[in-house]
Chain A
């Protein structure tokens, strides 16, 4: 479990979000989650302290959602890879 948001630095939050995003087995979901995490942080790179705190709370919620959904999604993952994941197999 990640530490509470007050204890987590934005970079640690980023790390945890990326880690959670990566845990999706499904290619499409995983790549979307990674893109979304990255763009969200880039978008709000320069924001004031108050807004940053609100965003950290939002990120905490999203992190929990992502961890929960990764567990559920992976229960139903077929183990089939997307063609985009297979390198060099024509």
Chain B
């Protein structure tokens, strides 16, 4: 989803080589959302690689603490591993609310800059 940006330019300054159809919005602040299946798959592989989880218990709806047996510190580390995987930074307030694989999927699919 591309959000059109307003490009402010000094009056009288023209950029002649660009055709009128060329949109500046293509170059700045372009956002894209990742698909749910892809995100789920990548999250599960990150959680698996974390090492403290039994593979059999892993599911797209698993709760970090109740289902996977991770303590709150491990959960913090998992969320940080997800930040690394998707090249985003999750603020403290949001990160505290990611308590299950499902929460993480919801957050990351809604994140415009996750890659």
Chain A residues in the interface with B (C-beta under 8 A): 3, 8-9, 11-12, 14-16, 18-19, 38, 41-42
Contacts and interface: CB of A to CB of B under 8 A. Distances in A.
Interface string B64-101: 00000000110011011000000000001001100000
B73 A38 contact: yes
A14 B92 contact: no
B92 A18 contact: no
Contacts, number: 26
A11 B80 contact: no
The A interface is mostly helix, strand or loop, or mixed, namely: helix
Interface of B: 72-73, 76-77, 79-80, 92, 95-96
B81 to A, nearest CB: 11
B73 A12 contact: no
A9 B95 CA distance: 12
B80 A19 contact: yes
